[in-house]
Amino acid sequence: MPTPPRRVSKFRRLIRRPPVPEPLLRFWRHASLGARLLAGAGVVVGACGLAVALFALASALTGPGPAAPMSFGEYREALAAGRIAAVVVQPEGAEVTLKEDGGTTTTRHHVSAPLAWQPVDELAASGAEIRFEPERPDRLPAITSLLGLATILAFAAAWALKMRDMTRTGRRFDGTGGGGNGMRRTTFADVAGQEEAKQELGDIVAYLRNPARFAAVGAAPCRGVLLYGPPGNGKTCLAAALAGEAGVPFLHASGAEFAEMFVGLGALRVRRLFAEARKAAPCILFLDEIDAVAQTRVAGGTGGDREHAQTVAQLLTCLDGLDGREGVVVIAATNLPENLDAALLRPGRFDRRVQVGRPTLLEREAILALHARGKPLAPEVDLAELAARTQGMSGADLAHLVNDAAVLAAREGRVRIEPADLDRAVDRALLGPERRGLALVEEERRVVAVHEAGHALVALRTPGAEPLHKVTVLARGAALGMAVQRPAEERFLRTRRQLLAELAVAAGGRAAEELVFGPEAVTTGAAGDLRHVAEAARRMVYELGMEADGEEPAAFLAWPQDPRLAATVSPEGRARLEAAVERLARAAYEQARRVLEEHRPALLALADALMRRETLDGAEAEAVVRAACADEATVAETGIGAAARPPVPPEPVAAP
């Protein structure tokens, strides 16, 4: 049986609170105390101003109308005629009421005359009503002054609250339990990989849990730890997990919060942050992106440089002022440790430097398993194989990859994540999203197929080249097609032979276009390849001291990274290095062209297969090349090689 609606009395309906707009309610619920006080002061000042305006308007509307002016002579004549009924004498004049139409009506007039001119005796003798009205005090200046003072006080309060907010920094999360300040407690179990970093931070956890054990043997606790490494590898997660593992509060601040225009404001924020950390001790004080506030100081400079130098000096002073027995451990994170001020890195400030690098093969598998937890994976999914395909990815990249695969599965209406979803997610992360809506004309598709077949064939037939993983003519991102290589195993060093093979594979696309279509028909599609060849060759010469085959290295010392030192290199030395770079690039192009000329039937067969199937994996491409080399007659069956095979010269194709 439905519950009958509750009856509300008529009296309660009358006194019901008026509805408040939802934006105001939302502001009042989420605003701080200072914001509420400022809003209340603004409402009071506005209400006072509105009340004064309404009072002045009411006085103007309800008061008597303005009196008609009268000369002093007319005033004397009316007095002599006995027409004056009443007079209100004022210091600077008089308000005169005259009888009109035999006394049935009256009119008001104003006479401007000093008080000494008033004929008081004659007015009294005529029987007129006489009143004296002193000068009314002018309240408008007082009201205006009060409103001005209230406005100044309101602006001063707003400025004080603004400065308080500007000098306040850091966010505090409770690490002693779950859900403090809306943040779930994080421990080392929630951070996959980075086992070496966890071991380095383990004694800090032990100290925060039981500082007496360290004090008993006279061991000085670690004051600061610098976490450095590429972005997205878990530096912030490690700091939060350290606080959660030790069960202490976690204070988080970003280096950008200390950068201000006003000199001294950043230093004030640093002092307040460390004072708050001392009150919360034992705790973890985490400074994220510390390179934004602690960059190397320079002599002189502008006002911004002086503010930066003062902030760095204050940070160094606060770090020196921390006693290890207070229980405050400073954790800093940066992606650019080389930009930090040298005084910041000495022992006693940051005692340890922990590198948080990209995950290894086993760590990637653990990270994928962590982020796949709670997601319905198909039994065919092999996370170990997926980890082998994602070499070089950070932890954030892997988390995004698993989530992207889940999104793709949900988009197609499936209830579990299939291996194909993960494959597509990896391709999207490495190669970019597909552009199936991009329609190329037949000539352009042919050029793209030959170009990518050139890359793939050189990768398959060049010693030292990475294994071919996939070749496709489907447009992805800004590329119209691509050939993807993947190392067979995880390696951290590369030989000169492998680097030369990389240059040859990159030059294979342009060499294939020139070989099949002629020098006049090469296209703009090789712009990225040529840029890669130039950059890789320059790095080999300038940084690694490597030259082409059969030549002595042009340099044995790395090119100085500091521009001031690079300017000291002689023009002759720079010319020799640039000549070595050009020789490397030309040698790579010649190597790619030799491979393609030796396996021309395989090139045409591979291009034809790409025209028909659009995508080939490494095994399928190898099978096509082997079949073409075994039976050269298959070239005659392709539509690409028929017009380009000798002795008939190739017909040029217009560049797209």
Query: Where exactly does CATH 1.10.8.60 map onto the chain?
Result: 361-431
What percent of the chain stands above pLDDT 70? 74
Query: Where exactly does CATH 1.20.58.760 map onto the chain?
Result: 442-637
pLDDT tens digits along 223-244: 788 999 888 888 888 888 888 8
Query: What distance lies between CA 453 and its chain's CA centroid?
Result: 40
pLDDT band at 57 (very low <50, low <70, confident <90, very high): low
Mean pLDDT of the residues in the chain:
77
Considering the domain 170-355 in this protein, what is its CATH number? 3.40.50.300
Query: Where exactly does CATH 3.30.720.210 map onto the chain?
Result: 68-132
pLDDT tens digits along 643-652: 333 333 344 3
Q: Is the dihedral of CA 384, 389, 392, 398 positive or negative?
A: negative
Per-residue tokens: 290:
């510390």
Q: Report the Cα–Cα distance between both ends of the chain, in Å, rounded.
A: 76
Given this model, what pLDDT does residue 559 score?
62
Question: CA-CA distance, 476 to 72, in Å (whole number)?
Answer: 99
> Is residue 219 helix, strand or coil?
coil
pLDDT tens digits along 122-169: 777 777 777 777 766 655 666 677 777 777 777 776 666 655 555 455
pLDDT of residue 511 exceeding 90, the answer is yes
Q: Is the dihedral of CA 499, 485, 444, 511 positive or negative?
A: positive
Residues in CB range of 206: below 8 A, 6 or more apart: 213, 214
68-132: what fold? 3.30.720
Question: CA-CA distance, 639 to 607, in Å (whole number)?
Answer: 10
Residues in CB range of 399: below 8 A, 6 or more apart: 367, 371
pTM (whole model) above 0.75: no
pLDDT tens digits along 326-371: 678 889 999 988 888 888 888 878 888 888 888 888 889 899 998 8
Question: CA-CA distance, 571 to 367, in Å (whole number)?
Answer: 50
Per-residue tokens: 452:
């990518």
| pLDDT, average across residues 461-469 | 90
List, by residue number, the catalytic residues: 452
361-431: what fold? Helicase, Ruva Protein; domain 3 (1.10.8)
| pLDDT, average across residues 386-393 | 86
What percent of the chain stands above pLDDT 90? 13
pLDDT tens digits along 64-110: 556 777 777 777 777 777 777 788 877 777 777 777 766 666 777 77
Pick the CATH number of 442-637 from 1.20.58.760, 3.40.50.10320, 3.40.50.300, 1.10.3720.10: 1.20.58.760
